[in-house]
Amino acid sequence: MRLVVVGAGGVGSAVAAVARRRAFLESVTLADLDPERARRALADIDDERFSAAQVDASDGAALEELLHERRADAVLNATDPRFNPPIFAAAFAARCTYLDMAMTLSQRHPERPYAEVGVLLGEQQLAEDERWRRAGLLALVGMGVEPGLSDVFARYAADELFTEVDEVAVRDGANLVVAGAAFAPTFSIWTTIEECLNPPLLWERGRGFYTTEPFSEPELFTFPEGIGEVECVNVEHEEVVLIPRAVACRRVSFKYGLGSEFIAVLRTLHLLGLDAVTPVSVRGVEVAPRDVVAACLPDPASLGERMSGKTCAGTLVTGTGRDGSERAVYLYHVADHARTMREYGRQAVVLQTALNPVVALELIASGAWQDVGVRSPEEFPPRPFLDLLADYGEPHGMVEGDPRQSTP
């Protein structure tokens, strides 16, 4: 398989670090607006299959030209989701398999943003399903860790652990610390602002999709492998859109362990208008406030030497077990920062995200995952994915019982 990865930031660099261990890839091109950034991301990868290239992710024609030039079989979108549309369109035009880790952006309801849905996450891509099917092409959307592995967990639980699923509750938490930094997001701040300040999305059978206030319904969730108790709150995320399409259940939710200080900073950014994406004039220069925030913060890819701790991504499923009794199971994957730095030279958050699209690409290359159209992870058989993830040295874990409790 010949792969083009668009975006040489933290996740793109981590994709390269994972991919270099796998023989199924004939070539990997890491492309970025800044070609020097792409070359730096490959500096520790001594493998002739890997090369750097320059491309503007907003320029569909340039993207298509690059895909043709590299004779790409697949393109992996490792940029912010605002660039999904041009990369998605270029993949179709170049007849490539397309993968991303976050879907096209939502738009809030104009009158009742904290009650009703406007435009759903990924709606623009899912609407293209029939067109991709007719062309015999596959677009695998939301194939990171969350969404991605979390969706695979939901399908696995429904297929093998439960006869009836009540709730699918995706929960993410960590005890990561960045030394010497009062505020240093370990993932793209652009994406973090987008998902945390948008109205959180929930789904219930009989009610459908609805929204609520950001950071609502706090709960204490006890994460495994020493991470411990973390307060989690509602956040907008793709799983709520995707899982009900393929997994029969009563409710789907997503909560993120952000911490009170992190939430306070995000609220302040919003209060000051610094989360805005519409450019403002600053001494005659048009600049988006959110891009200024991103420029002022450290690159998540550069935080490795200052970080410590673990991050956990997982899916809590409740319902009726195979023996007919009530059951609750938390399926999860933990990335220990010390280990990811030792083994991959990449920080835990970006490495955990990057593992999953590479696993999916290998399954596609081998024929274990086959389909056409715009598909999502829970639409494929989960067992081959989890077995191959373990073969990568990254087995998942499982905890019996419900680790949640309401906050006072």
What phi and psi, each to the nearest 5 degrees, are found at residue 39? -65, -40
The mean pLDDT of 35-62, rounded to a whole number, is: 96
Which of 42, 65, 100 delimits the end of a domain? 100
Do the domain assignments include residue 72?
A: yes
Whether 154 and 94 map to the same domain: the answer is no
205 and 84 assigned to the same domain: no
- Residues 82 and 153 occupy one common structural domain: no
Last residue of a domain, one of 36, 68, 100: 100
Residue 171 belongs to some domain of the structure: yes
What's the chain's average pLDDT? 94
Does one domain contain both 343 and 199?
yes
Over residues 110-165, the pLDDT tens digits come to 999 999 999 999 999 999 999 999 999 999 999 999 999 999 999 999 999 999 99
pLDDT of residue 187: 66
Q: For residue 241, what are the CA distances in angstroms to 128, 172, 293, 357, 372?
A: 16, 17, 29, 19, 20
Q: Quick one: 195 and 344 in the same domain?
A: yes
Of 265, 207, 198, the closest CA to residue 237 belongs to 198
pLDDT band at 396 (very low <50, low <70, confident <90, very high): very high
Structure confidence at residue 42 as a pLDDT band (50, 70, 90): very high
Distance CA 315, CA 396 (A): 11
| CATH number (domain holding residue 90) | 3.40.50.720
> Residue 354: in which H helix or E strand, if any?
helix 348-366
Task: Flag whether 297 is in a domain.
Answer: yes
Percentage of residues in the chain having pLDDT higher than 90: 82
- Contact (Cβ atoms closer than 8 angstroms) between residue 190 and residue 80: yes
- By C-alpha distance, which of 55, 240, 62, 216 is closest to 142? 240
Q: Tell me if 129 is assigned to some domain.
A: no
What tens digit of pLDDT does each residue of 363-380 get?
A: 999 999 999 999 999 999
Question: pLDDT grade, residue 227 (50/70/90)?
Answer: very high
- Which of 357, 351, 353 minimizes the C-alpha distance to 76? 357
Q: Are residues 309 and 220 in contact, defined by beta-carbon separation less than 8 angstroms? A: no
Same domain, yes or no: 25 and 173? no
> Can you give the residue range of the structural domain that contains 61?
2-100
Query: 174 CB contacts (<8 Å, ≥6 apart)?
Result: 223, 227, 230, 257, 309, 310, 311, 312, 349
Q: Mean pLDDT, to the nearest integer, of 281-303?
A: 83
Instruction: Please enumerate, as own/partner, the contacts of 24-29 that have beta carbons within 8 Å and a separation of 24 or more.
Output: 24/361, 24/362, 24/365, 24/366, 25/1, 25/49, 25/361, 26/1, 26/2, 27/2, 27/3, 27/51, 27/70, 28/3, 28/4, 29/3, 29/4, 29/5, 29/53, 29/66, 29/70, 29/72
Judge residue 341's burial from the number of C-beta atoms within 10 Å of its C-beta, 0-12 exposed, 13-18 middle, 19 or more buried. middle
pLDDT in tens, 304-335: 678 899 999 999 999 999 999 999 999 999 99
Mean pLDDT of 259-278: 86
Name the DSSP letter for residue 306: G
Could you tell me which residues are beta bridge partners of residue 97? 74
Whether residue 368 is contained in a domain is answered as no
pLDDT score, position 192: 81
The reply to whether 75 and 220 lie within a common domain is no
Q: Is residue 157 part of a domain?
A: yes
Distance between CA atoms of residues 387 and 40, nearest Å: 32
Domain count, the chain: 2
Residue 137 lies in a domain: no
* Domain endpoint, select from 69, 100, 131: 100
Q: Are residues 163 and 69 in the same domain?
A: no
Domain-embedded: residue 139 = no
Dihedral over alpha carbons 127, 132, 138, 142 (to 10 degrees):
-10
The one-letter amino acid code at 154 reads A
**CATH code for the domain of 348:** 3.30.360.10
Residue 276 has pLDDT above 90, yes or no: no
List of E strands, 91-213: 97-100, 138-140, 162-174, 177-178, 201-204, 208-211
408 pLDDT band, cuts 50/70/90, is low
Note whether 182 and 242 are same-domain residues.
yes
Looking at the fold, whether 82 and 228 belong to one and the same domain comes out as: no
Burial class (CB in 10 A: 0-12, 13-18, 19+), 169: buried
Rg (CA), the chain: 20
Question: What pLDDT digit, counting tens, does each position of 231-246 carry?
Answer: 999 999 999 999 999 9
pLDDT score, position 248: 97
**How far is the C-alpha of 339 from the C-alpha of 349, rounded, in Å?**
12
**Is the alpha carbon torsion for 176, 178, 184, 187 positive or negative?**
negative
Compute the distance between CA of residue 68 and CA of residue 278 in angstroms, rounded to an integer: 33
Structure tokens at 195: 């998902």
Do 251 and 182 lie in a common domain? yes
Do 86 and 156 belong to one domain?
Answer: no
In angstroms, how far is the first alpha carbon of the chain from the final one? Answer: 53
